[in-house]
């Protein structure tokens, strides 16, 4: 009994750590993007100020579905983050760090947000939700093919064991061992995070920030917290699957920071695709590359 | 010598402390909704981009009224846009502030004798900070934002409370200018 309680507490600690880590790194990244644009940039803790300001505001509601969806999204995402291994040996629930747990639970969080946004009754929110789900449909196919290739090669779908596999093999990261698949994964990760070329479902100038159009005050604050933890989960997935996990927590933070910063720098120089361009893009080159990589790695056995 | 004995604070004091903490966050993270009706809007791009870099004050543009804290009214308001401005202002979540740009929002500016525009903005909605000039310099615009932050710090940016307290007066002025003010809720009617 006390074991389970301790595990749950550790899990909440992991989720909180992920929130603090991602929020700080997002603040630093706003400075990095500002330097790319020849600006000075905000304080590094600006994201914390934004979130606490939103939580301190009064807000309106658009019915109980609107409120409940936000709470459901935040709760499910915190629940997902609880399973995330931080290093290859440290995780809250030992043996439950399966890749598919994250894939399924993240989708539930997204559905909570979709339900809540549709509950607001704003047509722009419905368009945004539709675009978000379409984008999800687009990037998941090539990403899943690459990840299934990795699972086939390692023989396990546990994140920490995939990380350990790469460390035992002499730090041959899958980003290097499967170079074509690595490129596909980077593109899919940009789609997951909603970074610039695939920012279609947010599109502030076009559909007024999409699903978030009717949120203000406390609900928006909770959505921001949810967004930060989602980014933590997705970038951590990439670190564990493609960058050889992490032996210790410092290495994890360094890898995490490098991945997120590089994605942000790529994002800061791009424009935005239209939604049909996003789908066509993901179903054309990344899909071809992912299938080629799977063929090369599994049937020909050419893994560097 | 200060007493170390614990004395419970009254509810007003606790509320005041929480409000001061909230004010710290609110003044360091002002999100703007730009209502660009007039020529003063051209002063905003240099204020936002690398020349003056508004983001270092924590300010940034937002897409919808629900998300925003500050409503920027940049320039003259015709009667048609005034109606939309009032709808927009009432959609924002509290605490909310208004910054009026240029002479047109203060006394009508060069359009003071036009039949199509209103002259004094703060007869219709409460304005916290005016930035004078036709058009104001970008330095003046940035100074106006810093002034707004100081007002929030000194608890003087109370326009949104004033709108609650003297709503009858504002509504009478709005009706006198527009004839009728009614928010159409096309989703739930």
CATH code of the domain containing B36:
3.40.50.12280
pLDDT digits (tens, 9 = 90+) for A12-38: 888 899 999 999 999 999 999 999 988
Task: Please indicate if any CB of chain A lies within 8 Å of the CB of B7.
Answer: no
CB contact under 8 A, B94 and A53: no
pLDDT digits (tens, 9 = 90+) for B56-90: 888 888 888 888 889 988 888 888 888 888 888 88
Task: Please indicate if any CB of chain A lies within 8 Å of the CB of B187.
Answer: yes
Q: What angle do helix axes A64-81 and A99-119 make, rounded to 10 degrees?
A: 160
Query: In the structure, what pLDDT confidence band is assigned to residue B3 with cuts at 50, 70 and 90?
Result: low
Does position B186 have pLDDT exceeding 60, yes or no? no
Average pLDDT over residues B90-109: 87
Which domain covers residue A185, as residue numbers? 2-300
Q: Which among B57, B64, B93 has CB closest to A209? A: B64
Count of domains for chain B: 1
Residue B79, in any domain of the structure: yes
A205 to chain B, closest Cα gap in Å: 7
CB contact under 8 A, A42 and B26: no
Task: Please indicate if any CB of chain A lies within 8 Å of the CB of B133.
Answer: no
Interface test with A, best of B36, B59, B63, B90 (most A CBs within 10 A): B63
Residue B187, in any domain of the structure: no
Residue B106, in any domain of the structure: yes
A118 to chain B, closest Cα gap in Å: 12
- First-to-last alpha carbon distance for chain A, in angstroms, is 46
- The set of long-range contacts for A49-53, using a CB threshold of 8 Å and a minimum separation of 24, is A49/B25, A49/B28, A49/B29, A49/B58, A50/A224, A50/B29, A50/B31, A50/B58, A51/A23, A51/A221, A51/A224, A51/A225, A51/A228, A52/A221, A52/B25, A53/A221, A53/B22, A53/B25, A53/B26, A53/B28, A53/B29, A53/B69
For residue B77, what pLDDT is reported? 86
Q: Which among B26, B55, B67 has CB closest to A216? A: B67
For residue A91, what pLDDT is reported? 79
For residue A22, what pLDDT is reported? 92
For residue A51, what pLDDT is reported? 92
**Beta carbons of A92 and A160 less than 8 angstroms apart:** no
Does position B185 have pLDDT exceeding 70, yes or no? no
For residue A20, what pLDDT is reported? 93
Residue B185, in any domain of the structure: no
Which domain covers residue B148, as residue numbers? 29-178
Task: Please indicate if any CB of chain A lies within 8 Å of the CB of B137.
Answer: no
For residue B70, what pLDDT is reported? 92
Per DSSP bridges, beta strands B70-74 and B97-101 are: parallel
Task: Count helices and strands (H / E) in chain B.
Answer: 7, 5
Q: Which residues of A touch B (CB under 8 A)?
A: 30, 34, 37-43, 46, 49-50, 52-53, 56-60, 121-122, 204-205, 208-209, 212-217, 220
For residue B78, what pLDDT is reported? 86
Does position B188 have pLDDT exceeding 60, yes or no? no
Does position B25 have pLDDT exceeding 60, yes or no? yes
Place of tokens 């999204």: A73
**Beta carbons of B59 and B145 less than 8 angstroms apart:** yes
> Nearest CA to A45 among A55, A30, A63, A62?
A30
Q: Which among A39, A50, A122 has CB closest to B29? A: A50
**Beta carbons of A223 and A56 less than 8 angstroms apart:** no
pLDDT digits (tens, 9 = 90+) for A253-276: 999 999 999 999 999 888 888 888
What angle (nearest 5°) sits at the alpha carbon of residue B140, between those of residues B137 and B143?
155
**Beta carbons of B101 and B63 less than 8 angstroms apart:** no
Residue B4, in any domain of the structure: no
A6 to chain B, closest Cα gap in Å: 33
> Nearest CA to B92 among A60, A126, A122?
A60
For residue A258, what pLDDT is reported? 92
In B, which residues are within 8 Å of A46 by CB distance? 28-29, 58
Task: Please indicate if any CB of chain A lies within 8 Å of the CB of B50.
Answer: yes
For residue A92, what pLDDT is reported? 76
Cα separation, A88 vs B151, in Å, equals 51
Phi, psi of A206 (to 5 degrees): -105, -55
Is the sign of the CA dihedral A118, A122, A126, A131 positive or negative? Answer: negative
CB contact under 8 A, A57 and B69: yes
Count of domains for chain A: 1
pLDDT digits (tens, 9 = 90+) for A284-304: 888 999 999 888 888 777 776
> Nearest CA to B160 among B100, B101, B98?
B98
Tell me the C-alpha to C-alpha distance, in Å, between residue B94 and each of B16, B29, B35, B65, B164: 17, 14, 18, 11, 11
Tell me the C-alpha to C-alpha distance, in Å, between residue A178 and each of A46, A287, B29: 38, 15, 43
Q: What are the per-10-residue average pLDDT scores of chain A (304 residues)? A: 85 90 92 90 90 88 86 90 84 82 86 85 86 88 90 87 80 80 90 86 80 85 91 90 85 91 90 88 90 85 70
Average pLDDT over residues B8-35: 86
For residue B95, whether the previous peptide bond is cis, meaning omega lies within 30 degrees of 0, is: yes
Does position B18 have pLDDT exceeding 80, yes or no? yes
Residue B98, in any domain of the structure: yes
Cα separation, B138 vs B101, in Å, equals 11
On the 0-12 / 13-18 / 19+ scale of CB atoms within 10 A, B22 is middle
SS3 label, residue A98: strand
A146 to chain B, closest Cα gap in Å: 36
For residue B181, what pLDDT is reported? 63
CB contact under 8 A, B95 and A41: no
In A, which residues are within 8 Å of B92 by CB distance? 216
For residue B183, what pLDDT is reported? 61
pLDDT digits (tens, 9 = 90+) for B143-154: 999 999 999 988
Query: What is the number of CB-based contacts under 8 A between chain A and chain B?
Result: 89
Task: Please indicate if any CB of chain A lies within 8 Å of the CB of B43.
Answer: no
In B, which residues are within 8 Å of A59 by CB distance? 93
Residue B55, in any domain of the structure: yes
In B, which residues are within 8 Å of A219 by CB distance? none
B133 to chain A, closest Cα gap in Å: 26
Cα separation, A14 vs A44, in Å, equals 22
**Stated pTM of the model:** 0.88
**Averaged confidence pLDDT in chain B:** 85
* Complex ipTM value: 0.83
Is the sign of the CA dihedral A121, A125, A129, A134 positive or negative? Answer: positive
**Beta carbons of B120 and B108 less than 8 angstroms apart:** yes
């Amino acid at each position: 009994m006390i074991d389970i309680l301790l595990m749950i507490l550790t899990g909440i600690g992991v989720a909180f750590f992920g929130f603090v880590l991602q929020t700080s790194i997002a603040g630093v990244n706003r400075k990095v993007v500002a330097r790319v644009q020849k600006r000075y940039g905000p304080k590094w803790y600006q994201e914390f100020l934004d979130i606490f300001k939103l939580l301190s505001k009064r807000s309106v509601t658009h019915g109980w579905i609107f409120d409940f969806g936000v709470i459901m999204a935040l709760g499910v995402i915190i629940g997902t983050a609880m399973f995330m291994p931080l290093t290859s040996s440290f995780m809250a629930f030992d043996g439950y760090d399966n890749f598919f747990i994250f894939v399924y639970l993240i989708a539930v969080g997204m559905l909570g947000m979709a339900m809540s946004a549709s509950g607001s009754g704003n047509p722009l929110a419905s368009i945004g939700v539709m675009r978000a789900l379409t984008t999800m449909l687009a990037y998941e196919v090539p990403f899943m093919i690459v990840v299934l290739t990795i699972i086939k090669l390692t023989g396990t779908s546990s994140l920490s064991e995939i990380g350990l596999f790469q460390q035992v093999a002499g730090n041959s990261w899958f980003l290097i061992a499967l170079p074509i698949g690595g490129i596909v994964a980077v593109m899919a990760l940009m789609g997951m995070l909603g970074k610039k070329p695939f920012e279609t479902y947010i599109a502030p100038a076009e559909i007024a920030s999409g699903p978030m159009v009717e949120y203000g005050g406390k609900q928006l604050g909770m959505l921001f917290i949810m967004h930060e933890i989602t980014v933590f989960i997705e970038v951590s997935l990439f670190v564990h699957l493609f960058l050889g996990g992490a032996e210790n927590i410092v290495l994890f933070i360094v890898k995490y920071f490098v991945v997120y910063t590089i994605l942000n720098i790529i994002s800061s120089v791009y424009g935005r695709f239209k939604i049909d361009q996003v789908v066509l893009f993901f179903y054309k080159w990344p899909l071809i590359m992912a299938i080629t990589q799977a063929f090369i790695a599994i049937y020909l056995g050419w893994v560097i | 010598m200060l007493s170390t004995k614990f004395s419970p604070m009254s509810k007003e004091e606790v509320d005041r402390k929480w409000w001061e903490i909230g004010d710290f966050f609110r003044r360091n993270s002002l999100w703007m909704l730009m209502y660009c009706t007039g020529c003063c809007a051209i002063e905003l791009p240099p204020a936002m981009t690398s020349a003056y870099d508004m983001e270092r004050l924590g300010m940034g543009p937002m897409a919808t009224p629900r998300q925003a804290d500050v409503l920027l009214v940049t320039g003259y308001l015709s009667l048609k846009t005034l109606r939309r401005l009032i709808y927009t202002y009432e959609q924002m979540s509290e605490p909310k502030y208004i910054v009026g740009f240029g002479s047109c929002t203060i006394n009508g500016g060069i359009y003071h004798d036009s039949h199509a525009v209103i002259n004094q903005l703060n007869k219709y909605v409460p304005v916290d900070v005016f930035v004078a000039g036709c058009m104001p310099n970008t330095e003046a615009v940035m100074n106006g934002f810093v002034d707004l932050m100081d007002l929030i710090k000194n608890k003087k940016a109370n326009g949104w409370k004033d709108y609650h307290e003297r709503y009858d007066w504002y509504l009478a002025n709005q009706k006198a200018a527009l004839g009728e003010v009614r928010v159409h809720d096309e989703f739930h009617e």
